[in-house]
Structure 1
């Protein structure tokens, strides 16, 4: 189930990336359209300004004949345009009627096919060969008609674009004609003041006469001498200005004659250019129609993209529902497994098998993480290659734009030439105003429609983007909460592991302390043994001295020999007991009752051996020291035996404790510290589980047989600790699995925006 969930998640992530790429493409397309609309609006404003200037120049113009000719030519061009538009409409109507007929025929044929399918049941085998042939022919015809329709639409769009371009050219030429007419009007208005100044020359004569009269009066009036001087200066200035104005009048008359000749030649050339402009107008209208059809096709494509996005969103919702269902199933399975784990905690073999499974799963998850990283890197490389291709395409498109700009520069140069030629045709555009206004209104209506359609598309795209963003934010929040929970659980598990490690260290320290105590006890006992041996040796020497006393006779010494042999037999028996105890310590623990029973038996052996030697000992009773020595020797021998048995018991118990501690430390080191696992096998194999159970039972029985009450309590405590550590390891492994899955998801989510931004 986890693998299936990962695959579904990858598929969902790929769909999200595709949606994001489509979104960015649509945003780029919208930006381009907005830029194109801004350029078109700027051109419209420029054209409006030129129209205002042209209207002013037309109002000031006086040549009505040229204006009437232009009006007639414009009317003829408009009639041609209207006739072409009507032809296009008729063609479109015919195509639509043919399409509707085809649709109706297709519907009828589909109904007939359905009827035939209902009739053609598995019992009756009626040959339907001709019907299928007719169906194929009709579908082929339908495909051909659709292709013809598409070609006709493309032709219509091309003609509309050419017509629009011609219209723009005609408008530009009209503006240039208006400018030339304005210049002509300015020249004429400049000629009028010159003529006026020429007419003012008799007034200057009158001023001269008045000046002469004033000159004659100078002689009579002596007080008005300075005024006369001023008048003389003014007269001289006015004479110079008169001469200058006369010269300027002659030059201006010559220039006006030359300008009139130039304008007449320009009129002739303008008539020739007018005919070319009419043809260009037709092409412009066709280009305008092409532009309309292209925009319609682009709008249809955008609608199709919106439908595709909606379908992808629906698919994503269905996949999310599937994932939620799988999540519920996984939770149910998790609860079942938790119950199974609670029941299986009693058996160590199943726990170890599950622990091995979790280790394997963690390895697999690591491998999958590495593979995912590799796949993500490959995807990033692919995206970078695609970006390079797109940049190459952008460079090509920029070259195309540069070529169009060069063409526009050429057209501007041509327009400058046309402006020079069409200076005399400014007064003929009064009737063109109404037509241009109508065209502007129609273009404005179309622009408004396009704006509305673009706004609708933008609103739809914004809504889809918002929904996707909200879903993405919700998913991110869920993942963040899951990450926080996983981190909290991880910290708890780490604290528990640290506590367990501390406990294990404490156990090791306790083990060392017990080993030290045992070694110290052994050393003390060995010292006591050595001191007892020295004492026994001294006593034996004293006994030898007593027995070798010269007061005793030779037969008495012979009678004492059996007693000496009995002492040596005691030492031999003690040696045999030591050997037996050493041999038994390897298999079984020594019995605490044995040291009490042994001295009693040895004590009984003395009176049994005493009756045959009674006479000889009675002879020694005279010597009280000998009897005291014998009593002391017997007591010391008994104490020695008891001490030896205690020593052997302590040695055996210490060795058993050391063995138990070694076994326990090896188990702890094996299962907890190193985390080793057995040979990897399938966890669901019942034979493997039975083998593990038998091995664990044998090991536990072997440990339980060779232990006393203290070791049993320690073993129980160690078992509980092992069970707790194993259960915690299982829980940690499950949490690690969930964390690895979430890390994979977050890494994918983090890589997708970086790839898109790059």
Structure 2
């Protein structure tokens, strides 16, 4: 293979190798820088997390302040409720006191009346002066009882007198004249007794009434006293709760006020401290800038002096470096082993750049805080102080070091010349080894290219097979849709026509003799499925039914045999078959979409494999006979140096990824075959579903 390459191709490959080397160096530098940036960004993120936790603590404190405000508002609400309850209680107390005063007045009046009745002074006048009806009733009741007693007493006396008079009349001749004055004399005494008994009875009734009133008044007073005791207990409880709430409110208010004052004092102290720090830092910056300007002026004068001495040495070194550069160009071939890992490094770089972008966005949002800037500013001031001390020390040491460096440069120059000669010899040996390795790797590249071409051709063949199967299915679907549309139009005509039974028979016969059935058998063959044989079997099974229906002599016409129920069943079956056909069409469409997406997936993955294999350059020292089971995996395994663990892990991941892609491609091929069989089965059901529904109607 090395002899077959022309000089132009060899030069082109060398130019590509140089470009890859430069790109590799750039990428390694960028990776190193990105790693440093990642470390710094992670530190910043950790610092920002700490600041965020501090901010959350401050927020929690502010939430506590908000809770204190909520408690204050609740205390105000409770105070308003207490005021309203106190007003209600005062109203209730005032009403109760008014009622109690009324009852006391009534009791005093009753006691006065009772005393007046006990004294007995002017009882009749009091009865007459009383405007109430109760007094008259009492007087009348007492008078009635007294009169009844007097009547009884008079009757007894009269009876006694009659007995006595009868006895006397029997003993004497004419006793009437003597008895008349005796009977008339006790009349005023009887009236006095009557009045006395009336008053006595009236007083007794009044006494009973007074006792009843006193008992009722005592019961009412006891009830009112109990209510007063209950209300006083409620008042005490409410006053205690009010006092407790008032004390709690005052304590909370004092605590919140103290906390707010402390927070304000802390904020003011922090602001003052920060302002003082910024002023001090500005003053220190100005002084440092002045000192740096003075030091720069001194250093420029010293550099001019050293530049004259160094130019003489550089002229000597330039002559030697020209010779060494030629030797170094030969050494650059060693770095060609890293060119194949550039693709993987680019992927890692893209992933890390994405992470960096995310981290940068986070840092740009978080770096706007004031505390981080102050911390960075303090760090810078510390670095400035360190630099000032280092500069002062370096200024003192430079004079001594410059004299020593001149002597050391001469000694090093002599030693470097000897080392360069030895390196030239080593480089020549390495160039010979690199040429041998290049020949071996060119052979492996050719074998890998052939394997990739074979895989690409196989995938193209599979894609062509899948596209042909899809075209056949689409053509069958188109024919089935046409046939379904015709059947639907005929069904509508039959439904509108009065002679539905004869129309139904024509529809069945036209369905059996439709050209779409015969045409589909000539042009559909997918994945070892013979669609013609199925149609021939159906036509052979339908042939005796057609012969029977076509011969009018053998049996009477079909519309006379079909009943209304059978016709309705046939219509229902036709509707069900039509719905099933629509469902199958939707399934076929879904399968078409999925197969198209699978084909696109296969094309994309094959392109990825081609790019990985065709763009890779293999220049690592590995024997040509050690090829792996999968050629691409062996190439990726040989790309890595023995000492580079990161590249080895990355190549292992790439190898696993490629093996997974190959296994997925195998599974996709199997799935394509299964899908083609499923599509053929569905098309078979779509075509064959109307016949079983129509054959029972023909048999009837």
Give the shorter-chain TM-score range: under 0.3
Q: Give the TM-score normalised by structure 1.
A: 0.22
Q: Give the TM-score normalised by structure 2.
A: 0.23
Instruction: Return the structure number with greater relative CO, CA threshold 8 A, min gap 6.
Output: 1
